[in-house]
Amino acid sequence: MKFGKWLKQQIQETLPDWRENFLSYKDLKKLVRLISSGPMIRVGATSSKAPGKAEAEFVYLLNGEIEKFNGFFMEKEEDFIIRHKELKRRIQTVIEKWGENGTHPSAEIYKHEMTKIRKDIVNFHGEMVLLINYSNINYTGLAKILKKYDKRTGGLLRSPFIQEVLRQPFFTTDLVSKLAKEIEATIDAVFPLRKPESTSTAVTRVPVAEEGIFRNTVAALMSMQEMRKGSSTVSHFSLPPLNLPDSDLPQLLQISSPITIP
């Protein structure tokens, strides 16, 4: 599958309101074609493309894309930090008020509130996976278009530009990965999974993440696994190993399994 078609597919499998924040690969590709079809100039014994407006537009658009990625990524990081604190506060409030040892113990209200919280947590975890995938996809797209630029123009833009990309906020996913691990630990601690051998304990099937987010999260995990596979075409420009959450596809499916709420 050609990268442009693959990118379109990946964007379709992400949250709809994120779509405008992905790489404008089609526009960049048009500029590369325009540059590569320009006249050749001879300098000494070598020939190369004459620098011009299209080259300047290409670099300008690339820098604009980086700013777009960083702005969106950092905004989501800040939002995730706030939401993570709020979820922890909600859990603590429910336990202290309606839990078995709370100020107003009520098994019915406790179960109802925890059901809502768990759904929000799984949605939240899914968004974090999607944001890490967002970073992966845009890095991959930049590497692809820069490779195309160098190949068609004889330029040497890819190496220095990628070195700058590796230092950009949108490429640094450590904080989001850390939050994802904490969310997974919260799910394990507060919402224990049913043990397969147990037949006597009643199980409450809690509605999990909204179907769209869950489906897209699974697609994102599969996409990340594919992008990070080794192959004969791997180079130092290939997507480096990232600090992804420990959860893989089986774990994600387990997170969304039936649970018991004490």
User: pLDDT per residue over 66-90, tens digit each?
Assistant: 999 999 999 999 999 999 999 999 9
User: pLDDT per residue over 85-131, tens digit each?
Assistant: 999 999 999 999 999 999 999 999 999 999 999 889 988 998 998 99
pLDDT attached to residue 98: 94
Per-residue pLDDT of the chain (262 residues; tens, 9 = 90+): 788 888 888 888 888 889 999 999 999 999 998 887 765 444 344 444 545 677 888 999 999 999 999 999 999 999 999 999 999 999 999 999 999 999 999 999 999 999 999 889 988 998 998 999 999 999 999 999 999 999 988 888 999 999 999 999 999 999 999 999 999 888 888 876 555 444 444 444 444 445 567 677 777 777 776 666 644 344 555 655 444 444 444 455 455 544 445 5
Dist CA 240 CA 234 (whole Å): 10
